[in-house]
Structure formats: structure tokens, C-alpha cells
Amino acid sequence: MVYLNNPDELLLVEACLRSDRKAQKALYEKYKDAMYTLAYRVLGNFDDACDALQEGFIQVFRSLENFEGRSSLGAWIRTIVVRAAYKKLKPEIAFEEIELSENSGLYCWDDNLTSEELERAILNLSPGYRLVFTLVEVEGYKHNEVAEMLGISPGTSKSQLFYAKKKLQEELAYMIEP
């Protein structure tokens, strides 16, 4: 049994579970843009993001009967898409856990920074840094959630974020220098 607070989502999930093709399409249409954006931010590549989106939604429809509604439907789908994207990245990533000092998260960003410059700099990060940065800073996951999702320790997630921010700062300093 699915426990959702949103009656429209509950009806949509129930129809999908009955293999109603219109409901499945409606579910896909409702979430595809946000999930594609997430996959693209994680993978940094159009084709890989499309593959991860497709693989993620295949998994969504295969697993929908297991969805219990403990989180929002969107959050549950987002986790599945992140895992599909991570699966594509996994061979490229080597996480290293590094101890951080108390003030290791302090960064200053230029006020004149454009969103395009920031997006380009994020896409230039190595896959592991980009993945953790996107999950924590863009998607709002906590380090323990990222660690559970990726099978790493929270400390590794924190160190990857620290070095991602350091690389971003270096990249952005180079991009905005006159």
C-alpha cells in the first residue's frame, strides 16, 4: 500500500500500477524535465543524461509497487535517477577520503558571476566532484544521504565537496579574470 499525502499522485501511482499507459506517460511527463536536468548535471553529457533518464524511468516503473510513500514521489524518482547516473559514472570515479579542518568550507564567489559561467565550471569538474557537488549543493542532499546512495562514507562525501568547491573557485577565478 502506498501512503501519499497528495491525492493526485496517489491516483497516478495506482493507475501506473494497473499498467495504465496514459498514467505512465503522465508520470513520465510530470518528472522528465527535472530528472533530465539532474542527470545532465551529474553526467555533464547529453547522451549519457538521456540514457540515465531512460534507465531511471525503466527502474521507476519496475519498482513502483515497492514505493511506500515515505518520501514524496519526486524525491523517490530523483534517487532512482541519481543511482542510474552514478552507475554510468562509477567506472570513472575514484573517491578518496581526506580529513578536513574546521574552516575548510569557506569560499568567496564573485558577485558578477553569471549562471552560465557557474554551470560551465561545474561541468568541468571531474565526475566524482561534480556528482557530490550536484547532490549536496544543487539538489540539497545531506552528506549521510549521499554516502548511503553512493556507498561511500559521509567523510568521503564531505572531502569530495570540499575539493569540488576548491576546483570551482580556481576555475571561476580563471574564467572571470580580465
DSSP 52-94: HHHHHHHHHHHHGGG---SS-HHHHHHHHHHHHHHHHHGGG--
- pLDDT at position 6 is 75
* CATH number for the domain running over 7-92: 1.10.1740.10
Q: What is the mean pLDDT of residues 4-29?
A: 89
- pLDDT at position 106 is 44
Q: What percent of the chain has pLDDT over 70?
A: 81
More confident residue, 56 or 126: 56
pLDDT band of residue 126 (cuts 50, 70, 90) is: confident
**3.40.50.11540, 3.30.300.130, 1.10.10.10, 1.10.3720.10: which CATH number matches 115-176?**
1.10.10.10
Nearest to 172 by CA among 107, 113, 132: 113
| pLDDT > 90? residue 152 | no
- pLDDT at position 50 is 96
| pLDDT > 90? residue 175 | no
For the stretch 55-78, pLDDT in tens is 999 999 999 999 887 788 998 999
Question: Where do the domains of the chain lie?
Answer: 7-92, 115-176
Residue 130 near residue 123, CB atoms below 8 Å: yes
